[in-house]
Structure 1
Amino acid sequence: MTMGEHEQEKRRELRSYVVGFVAAAGLTTLAFLVVAVGMTSSTAYLVIGAAALAQVVVHFRFFLHIGLQRSTRDDLQLILFTTLIITLMAGGTIWILGNLHHRMM
């Protein structure tokens, strides 16, 4: 790799981080604005949920460099499986605690 190619790669990577930062900051600002404006709760939940999912995609793409290429697809599958397991564990815990709370009343 020549010096010019190395500098070009560094610029490309920096540009990716800047775009990711701007997108993440914009999505975070959107969530705060939804609350500050005082939207109805169902609309606010929908907008904040969509912004959160978009935020996850932005972090995967721009900061973790996980795309749909063949080499990173395995990493993405590992992350999605881990998310599934954590969701099942957290959801099961909340369900059990809710059931116990209901029985104690």
Structure 2
Amino acid sequence: MALREYERRILAEIEQRLGEDDPALAGHLATFGADDPSFARAAGGGWRPWAVCAMIAMAAAGLLALLFFTAPSTPAPEPASPRQVPETAVEPGPG
């Protein structure tokens, strides 16, 4: 997360005051996590979160494809039968 210039100045000022007030604590905090390899890896981010996201996306795409190809298809509609027209009695006309 990027800090604004104002926030950076405030943090630098706090760091300077801490160094003046308690140099031992300031030195200890400056070397905090220097001997822990997992701390250095976590700060850089790395490729692992992206790899996990890519694996999840591929699994979701695979499941969707599987669902698409294995889902039963809708039956074809039956052809319409010819309508039966009721026979009407035709009355003979005069003549």
TM-score, normalised to structure 2's length?
Answer: 0.32
Higher relative contact order (CA 8 A, sep 6+): 1
Please state which structure has a larger fraction of its residues in helix.
1
